[in-house]
C-alpha cells in the first residue's frame, strides 16, 4: 500500500524509470507500478541527443551507459536510389563542444536495463509487476488509485508514464484514440559482421525517397545496426511492436532501393512491422494530483528522433517541480505549463519531417539532388535541430 508521502508512477518504461530516478535524486520516495509480468528487452534503437543525455549523465548513469551506447561520428543524408551522400551534422567531439553533452545511439533494452539497475540499487522498494493502474481519483490531500487486482492505493501524486494507450490519459482527457497516419514502419537489427565492411561505419544515415525513408545507425557499442524503414501505406492498423514480418514483404517495399539498403534489410535477423499512429497536441495533462508524462501526454512520431528524449526531459522537469515547496497540484500544473509548448513543437515538427523525407521531388532525377542540397543545407539543418539539442531541462527556469 502506497502512502501519501510517496509519489506513485504508473509504468516502468524509460519515462517511468527516469522519472523515478530523478525523484529519488531530489530526496523523494517513489513506488513504480508496471502492468507487465516481467521486464524484458523490448524495442530496438533509440537516439539520445544532448537534451536527453545531459539528464542521464546528471543522474549518475554515464559509466554504465558508456559500456553499451554507440557514439556515432556523424549523421548523413543519402539518396534512396543513387546512394549519394550529404552531411547532416557532426556528432562526437563537435556535439560535446557545441551542446555540452554527447549524442548517443543505444538499444532500448540496454538503456532500460541501466535505468532499472540504478532504480533497484537506489530505491527502498522494487518495481511492482503485474500491477496495472486502472482508475484513479484526485483528492484534497493526494490521489487514490486501483490496480487490476482490485487493490487500492494512495499517494501524494500519481504520474502516468504508461504509454500511448494510457488508461489515465483517457480518464483525464476523454477518449481520443490515436489515428493511423498512413505510414507503415519496418524495424530490425543487423549484426554488423553480416554486412559489407563499408556498411559497418559508425554513422547514422537517413535515406530519403519518394513516399518512404530508411534510418540506420549503430547500437550496442557498435555490435548491431538498427534499421528502420517507413513507407506510405493505407489499410493496415496493427500497432504492435512485435508483429512479425518476412524478408520477402520487406523487400517488396524496399527491394528497388540502393544496394546498401537491400543488403542491410536482407541481413535483419527478424523484421517487425507496425502502423504509426498520431495525436494532435492536447492540454490537460495535470489535473489535481494526477499528471501525464511521455507518450501518455504527448505521443510523438519518430521523425525527429525525440520521443525518448521528451520522456527524459519530462522526468527532469517533473522532479524539479515536485521538489518545490508548494502544493502538489500547483507543482503538476507548473510542470505542464513548462512542458506544453516544447512538446507540441516537437510533435508538429516531427510531422513536418515526414513530409520532408518523402517529398515527391525525390522521384525526379532532375530535381532530387537540388531538393536535398537545398532542404538539408547547413544553415537549415542548424535551425531545424539546434533548438532541440540546446534545451536543458535541468536549468529551465521554474
Pick the catalytic residue: 217, 335, 385, 391? 217
198 vs 343: CA distance, rounded Å: 37
Q: Map the chain to HEC letters.
A: CCCCCCEEEECCCHHHHHHHHHHHHCCCCEEEECCCCCCCCCCCEEEECHHHHHHHHHCCCHHHHHCCCECCCEEEEEECCCCCEEEEEECHHHHHHHHCCCCEEEEHHHHHHHHHHHHHHHCCCCCECCCCEEEEEECCCCEEEEECCCCEEEECEEEECCCCCCHHHHHHHCCCCCEEEEEEEEEEEEEHHHCCHHHHCCEEEEEEECCEEEEEEEECCCCEEEEEEEEECCCCCCCCCCEECCHHHHHHHHCCCCHHHHHHHHCCCCCEEEEEEECCCCCCCEECCEEECHHHCCCCCHHHCCHHHHHHHHHHHHHHHHCCCCCHHHHHHHHHHHHHHHHHHHHHHHHHHHHHHCCHHHHCHHHHHHHHHHHCCHHHHHHHHHHHHCCCCCCCCC
CA-angle at 238, arms to 272 and 36, nearest 5°: 80
Determine whether 371 is an active site residue.
no
**Active site residues per annotation:** 217
Amino acid at each position: 500500500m502506497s502512502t501519501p508521502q510517496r509519489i506513485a508512477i504508473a509504468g516502468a518504461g524509460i519515462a517511468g524509470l527516469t522519472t523515478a530516478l530523478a525523484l529519488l535524486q531530489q530526496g523523494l520516495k517513489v513506488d513504480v507500478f508496471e502492468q507487465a509480468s516481467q521486464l524484458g528487452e523490448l524495442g530496438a534503437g533509440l537516439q539520445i541527443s544532448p537534451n536527453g543525455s545531459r539528464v542521464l549523465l546528471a543522474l549518475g548513469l554515464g559509466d554504465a551507459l558508456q559500456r553499451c551506447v554507440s557514439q556515432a561520428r556523424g549523421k548523413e543524408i543519402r539518396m534512396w536510389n543513387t546512394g549519394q551522400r550529404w552531411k547532416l551534422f557532426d556528432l562526437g567531439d563537435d556535439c560535446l563542444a557545441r551542446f555540452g553533452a554527447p549524442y548517443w545511439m543505444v538499444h532500448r533494452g540496454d538503456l532500460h536495463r541501466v535505468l532499472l539497475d540504478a532504480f533497484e540499487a537506489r530505491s527502498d522498494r522494487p518495481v511492482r509487476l503485474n500491477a496495472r493502474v486502472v482508475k484513479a481519483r484526485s483528492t484534497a490531500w493526494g490521489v487514490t488509485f486501483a490496480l487490476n487486482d482490485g487493490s487500492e492505493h494512495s499517494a501524494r501524486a500519481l504520474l502516468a508514464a504508461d504509454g500511448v494507450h494510457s488508461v489515465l490519459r483517457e480518464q483525464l482527457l476523454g477518449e481520443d484514440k490515436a489515428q493511423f497516419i498512413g505510414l507503415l514502419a519496418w524495424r530490425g537489427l543487423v549484426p554488423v559482421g553480416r554486412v559489407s565492411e563499408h556498411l559497418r561505419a559508425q554513422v547514422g544515415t537517413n535515406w530519403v525517397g519518394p513516399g518512404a525513408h530508411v534510418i540506420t545507425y549503430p547500437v550496442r557499442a557498435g555490435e548491431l545496426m538498427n534499421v528502420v524503414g517507413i513507407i506510405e501505406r493505407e489499410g493496415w492498423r496493427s500497432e504492435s511492436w512485435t508483429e512479425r514480418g518476412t524478408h520477402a514483404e520487406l523487400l517488396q517495399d524496399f527491394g528497388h532501393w540502393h544496394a546498401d539498403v537491400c543488403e542491410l534489410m536482407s541481413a535483419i535477423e527478424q523484421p517487425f512491422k507496425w502502423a504509426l499512429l498520431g495525436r494532435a497536441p492536447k492540454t490537460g495533462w495535470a489535473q489535481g494530483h494526477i499528471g501525464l508524462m511521455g507518450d501518455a501526454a504527448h505521443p510523438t512520431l519518430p521523425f525527429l528522433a525525440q520521443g525518448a528524449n521528451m520522456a527524459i526531459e519530462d522526468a527532469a522537469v517533473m522532479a524539479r517541480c515536485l521538489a518545490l515547496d508548494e502544493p502538489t497540484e500547483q507543482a503538476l500544473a507548473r510542470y505542464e505549463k513548462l512542458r506544453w509548448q516544447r512538446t507540441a513543437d516537437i510533435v508538429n515538427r516531427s510531422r513536418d519531417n515526414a513530409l520532408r523525407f518523402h517529398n515527391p521531388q525525390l522521384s525526379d532525377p532532375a530535381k532530387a539532388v537540388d531538393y536535398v542540397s537545398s532542404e538539408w543545407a547547413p544553415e537549415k539543418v542548424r535551425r531545424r535541430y539546434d533548438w532541440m539539442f540546446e534545451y536543458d531541462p535541468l536549468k529551465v527556469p521554474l
